[in-house]
Structure 1
Amino acid sequence: MLDPHDHRALGRRMRLFHLQEEGPGMVFWHPRGLACLRLLEARVRRVMEADGFLEVRTPQVLARSMWERSGHWDAFRDGLFIVAGAPERAIKPVNCPGHIQIVQRLAPSWRDLPLKVAEFGVCHRNEPSGALQGLFRLVQFTQDDGHLFCLEDQVVPQVAGFAASLFRFYAASGFPSAQVALATRPEVRAGDDATWDRAEAWLGEAARQAGLSFEVHPGDGAFYGPKLEFTLRDRQGRPWQCGTLQLDLVMPERFGLEVAGPAGPLRPVMLHRALLGSLERFLGILLEHHGGDLPLWLAPEQVMLAPVEAAHQAFAAHLRTRFQAAGLRAVIAPPGDSLGRRVRTARDLGIPWFVALGDREAAGGPLHLRPRRGEGREAPPEDAIAWLAAQDA
């Protein structure tokens, strides 16, 4: 029996998703849940675009030679899903090699840097069944993955810009602060010690110049470079490592990535970055952190309109159109249930606002906006809609 505050129980109550044995570690998204996931994706996409990232899409399956070149075939062999046939292929666990292929074909010069590409990449990792835990640990998940290719003197401002965007996004999601760690070389890694010495010192100095205070976590880096890890604490005090920024000097060398420089070819620095790491996991964190009361921008429906009598149905439809014209997601409560039952339905679904519509409202009177928790707000329809739209900005 799941705890009612567990995100899997909340997902069932809110009609968002379910998991079942026939698809271990993979999610069956229901209409409301997929809407929620798309809203999260849209919010991240806005950050990507504001930060100058160009969205791309890469293949799900690549030849063994690609994964050997990246180092994943050796360092991550047990985590790969191998596709039968010749030549051997694997379903992608990461997006990095595909992004490098795109940058190589774009053939940028040093004047085009920093060059930033990003993808909502669906990745697969062969996790042990005992390690799976709802949305927190999946076999199939979506990375908000971005790769930034820059010159050496551009690293510090890019680290600072990433951190600023990250903290703004976390604040809008209900996390006012984050802890930062510098994760250094793991035991199994690509690249020599001199390369790692340089990368670790460089990333640490860039973080300090960006105004970040951090702890050092020895051995927790990616196998191709050190990384900054951004950890959130939820309302229960549990830590969740979400955002990452990795400085990679290894993969550009392995793939022979170069750009035209003023005096000959240059090898760019590669930064791997993610705000969330996994959209599905971050949604699970948000569900438990907010107890199902998702931020207004993330709620599949933001307002439930409940006509008291059948005679008020037409007015409810008219009002929903006005809410929608203001960019708000409004739904009309299904008929037949009592008003109290419809209030409970809105609460179970996590709809932030509820508006009962009777004779007074239909005659042009003020609307009473009832929140899931706390005090309500009463205002004329035009003012109520404008106020609610402002909360969603």
Structure 2
Amino acid sequence: VLTSFPGAQLAIGPPITDGFYYDFDIGRPFTPDDIELLEGKMHKILAEDQPFDREVIDRDQGLEMFADQRFKTEIITDGEASQGVGDGVITVYRNHDFVDLCRGPHVRSTGFLSAFKLLRSAGAYWRGDEHNPQLQRIYGTAWNSQKDLDAYLERLEEADRRDHRKLGVALDLFSFPSELGSGLAIWHPKGALVRKIIEDYSRNTHLAHNYDIVSTPHVAKANLWETSGHLDFYAEGMYPAMELDHGQEYYVKPMNCPFHILVYQSSARSYRRLPMRLYELGTVYRYERSGVLHGLLRIRGFTQDDSHIFCTEAQLAEELQALLDFTLMVLRDFGFTDFEADLSTKPEKAIGDPELWDRATDALRASLEVADLPYEVAEGEGAFYGPKIDVHVRDAIGRRWQLSTIQVDFAQPENFSLEFNSPQNTRERPVMIHRALMGSIERFAGILIEHYAGAFPGWLAPVQAAILPVADRHNDYAAGVADELASLGLRVEVDDHDDTLGEKVRRAITAKTPAVLVVGDDDVEHGTVGLRLRDDEGEERGVPVPDAGRRLVELCAPPR
């Protein structure tokens, strides 16, 4: 970049999953021609097998070396360049005429880097802060061989075909109107129906697992968020206060937990009535920076399948085990089969009894091992108020998604002075468990769209069967077939547009409808349909309507 844009300011360039990026300020965005030019120069550098040389220098030497690079001098001045190296000491790597801050390690020379590709460029704010200068980020990827690189690029193409933002428009599921503002989605009829199916499943399975459904408002007075600690620790993620009731400040909720705590507090609690499991499809609002918003996956207003469980210390291990089993059941019902987890343990700064931390962490670990769930321990990565499990799934093309969180909380029971009456008739603190199995309905739906490439399983599809009359004279018969199938609980749509049959078939296939039923003269005469299932080749003619109905009911049966 420096040889092509001599005045370029260099920011940072870390490795990321499956690749790397580097941020630059060249005064304008990079063009595709720029990327092609840079990639060509990189290939020449690889062919020259230039060595990488590591140097250790002090802070003053670094400031002198990078005097004309304002982002580098800021990193050195702030002490970031010394992290992991030593106080006042930084490391740089030289590559021919180029030198850069880096902790390393590096490969010995550029000749080891045989297969790479620059992928794209995008805007990015310095330090992720929209008040800072906007830089230009170039993304790339590097692999051990051209074969590995080609396979990765094929996966990227497949991921692009599955992009929920594109499929959401193509399937008429949702949109993000600019009139609303960034990160706020509108669900169209078919998308809202998919969402309702997901929510109904969630609500019904929680009822079956002895959860109590609650409903809470979207706003609360400031003192609630002061007590919970959100205004101290999470204010940047909250929308600004609204002044109502003669200057009283209200906030839209970023989380549901304080409201569920108020339900617990609403009457005296006894150990005999614990655990208490409260569940809500609760809509929350978080001020995410515009640069990190991403379709339904990162959004400002979303609904969580949120639950808070209040139990005794003695009940904690059993409750966590049951909760993890419940989590995996839910994820399997939606078609995920490949799971792994992270167990985040006590950080240096934490509240609560260390022995209780150990017992809670051991209980989380035991639940993972009983479930035979592969996991990694993230030492010291737990929140200050308790350890947690994050459950990840792999989708149909092998991508890893974090979905479910099970979080033990020792802080909020203290903040709100929660109590229950023990068997010894003493007042004791309950333990609180936060958990969201889907994360949010919006994000979960986005992941499902990409997992299934928009071709939802029958029970999730907004339209389960499309009925296509060959000509206008078959419309009444098609409507009768639709009524018969609808009486079986199927979601049916008749395409009676004034189009050719071929156009109707293409429309149904593009909509990824699980079943297409064609009706013509013979079908009207014999009470049959032509049946074409999405995952089968060809059409089966002359299927009696009752038989088609039974097969579609089986095809579209929900889990359990």
Same fold (TM over 0.5): yes
Distance in 1 of aligned mates of 2:249 and 2:227: 14
Q: How does 1:216-365 map to 2 (within 5 A)?
A: 216-264=377-425, 265-365=427-527
Question: Is the 8 Å Cα contact of residues 159 and 207 (structure 1) preserved in structure 2?
Answer: no
Range that drifts further, 229-238 or 136-145: 229-238
1:166 is matched with 327
Q: Secondary structure at the match of 2:177?
A: coil
Tell me the alpha carbon deviations over residues 1-31 of structure 1, each in whole angstroms, 9 at most, x when there is no partner.
Answer: 9944311110000001111333211101111
Letter in 1 for 2:547: D
> How big is the shift at 1:223?
4.5
> How big is the shift at 1:136?
0.6
Q: Secondary structure at the match of 2:526?
A: coil
Q: Secondary structure at the match of 2:454?
A: coil
Tell me the alpha carbon deviations over residues 121-154 of structure 1, each in whole angstroms, 9 at most, x when there is no partner.
Answer: 1111111100000011001111000111122232
Residues 1:20 and 1:157: Cα distance change in structure 2 (over 3 Å): same
Distance in 2 of aligned mates of 1:174 and 1:205: 25
Distance in 2 of aligned mates of 1:103 and 1:132: 34
Q: Secondary structure at the match of 2:459?
A: helix
> How big is the shift at 1:334?
3.2
Residues 1:231 and 1:126: Cα distance change in structure 2 (over 3 Å): same
Q: Is residue 43 from structure 1 mapped to residue 201 from structure 2 by the alignment?
A: yes
Range that drifts further, 118-127 or 229-238: 229-238
> How big is the shift at 1:221?
3.0
Distance in 1 of aligned mates of 2:535 and 2:365: 44
1:389 is matched with 553
Q: Secondary structure at the match of 2:530?
A: strand
Question: Is the 8 Å Cα contact of residues 203 and 247 (structure 1) preserved in structure 2?
Answer: no
Distance in 1 of aligned mates of 2:396 and 2:356: 40
Q: Secondary structure at the match of 1:81?
A: coil
Distance in 2 of aligned mates of 1:294 and 1:15: 14
Structure showing greater Rg: 2
Question: Is the 8 Å Cα contact of residues 199 and 249 (structure 1) preserved in structure 2?
Answer: no
Range that drifts further, 345-354 or 23-32: 345-354
1:132 is matched with 293
Q: How does 1:26-41 map to 2 (within 5 A)?
A: 26-41=184-199
Could you tell me which of 5, 16, 25 is aligned with 2:183? 25
Distance in 2 of aligned mates of 1:157 and 1:193: 20
Q: How does 1:11-160 map to 2 (within 5 A)?
A: 11-22=168-179, 23-85=181-243, 86-160=247-321
Q: Is residue 9 from structure 1 mapped to residue 166 from structure 2 by the alignment?
A: yes
TM-score (norm 2): 0.66
Residues 1:351 and 1:171: Cα distance change in structure 2 (over 3 Å): same
Distance in 1 of aligned mates of 2:385 and 2:215: 22
Percent pairwise identity: 39
Range that drifts further, 218-227 or 104-113: 218-227
Question: Is the 8 Å Cα contact of residues 119 and 144 (structure 1) preserved in structure 2?
Answer: yes
Distance in 2 of aligned mates of 1:381 and 1:230: 44
Residues 1:58 and 1:339: Cα distance change in structure 2 (over 3 Å): same
Distance in 1 of aligned mates of 2:338 and 2:413: 33
Question: Is the 8 Å Cα contact of residues 344 and 379 (structure 2) preserved in structure 1?
Answer: yes
Letter in 2 for 1:381: V
Question: Is the 8 Å Cα contact of residues 121 and 142 (structure 1) preserved in structure 2?
Answer: yes
2:82 is matched with none
Q: Secondary structure at the match of 1:65?
A: helix
TM-score (norm 1): 0.93
Distance in 2 of aligned mates of 1:106 and 1:275: 28
Distance in 2 of aligned mates of 1:88 and 1:188: 31
The structure showing larger relative contact order (alpha-carbon pairs under 8 Å, at least 6 residues apart) is 1
Question: Is the 8 Å Cα contact of residues 304 and 354 (structure 1) preserved in structure 2?
Answer: yes
Letter in 2 for 1:245: I
Q: Unpaired segments of 5 or more residues in structure 2? A: 1-119, 121-158
Range that drifts further, 94-103 or 348-357: 348-357
Distance in 1 of aligned mates of 2:414 and 2:356: 11
Residues 1:182 and 1:134: Cα distance change in structure 2 (over 3 Å): same
Q: Secondary structure at the match of 1:363?
A: helix
> How big is the shift at 1:294?
0.9
Distance in 2 of aligned mates of 1:363 and 1:159: 60
Q: Unpaired segments of 5 or more residues in structure 1? A: none
Question: Is the 8 Å Cα contact of residues 82 and 88 (structure 1) preserved in structure 2?
Answer: no
Question: Is the 8 Å Cα contact of residues 47 and 165 (structure 1) preserved in structure 2?
Answer: no
Distance in 2 of aligned mates of 1:96 and 1:36: 26
Question: Is the 8 Å Cα contact of residues 62 and 89 (structure 1) preserved in structure 2?
Answer: yes
Range that drifts further, 268-277 or 164-173: 164-173
Range that drifts further, 170-179 or 127-136: 170-179
Range that drifts further, 215-224 or 90-99: 215-224
Residues 1:209 and 1:153: Cα distance change in structure 2 (over 3 Å): farther
Range that drifts further, 156-165 or 89-98: 156-165
Distance in 1 of aligned mates of 2:219 and 2:346: 28
Q: Secondary structure at the match of 1:135?
A: coil
Letter in 2 for 1:392: C
C-alpha RMSD over aligned residues: 2.2
1:208 is matched with 369
Range that drifts further, 347-356 or 212-221: 212-221
Distance in 1 of aligned mates of 2:285 and 2:260: 17
Residues 1:291 and 1:21: Cα distance change in structure 2 (over 3 Å): same
Distance in 2 of aligned mates of 1:338 and 1:239: 43
Distance in 1 of aligned mates of 2:297 and 2:212: 28
Residues 1:155 and 1:206: Cα distance change in structure 2 (over 3 Å): farther
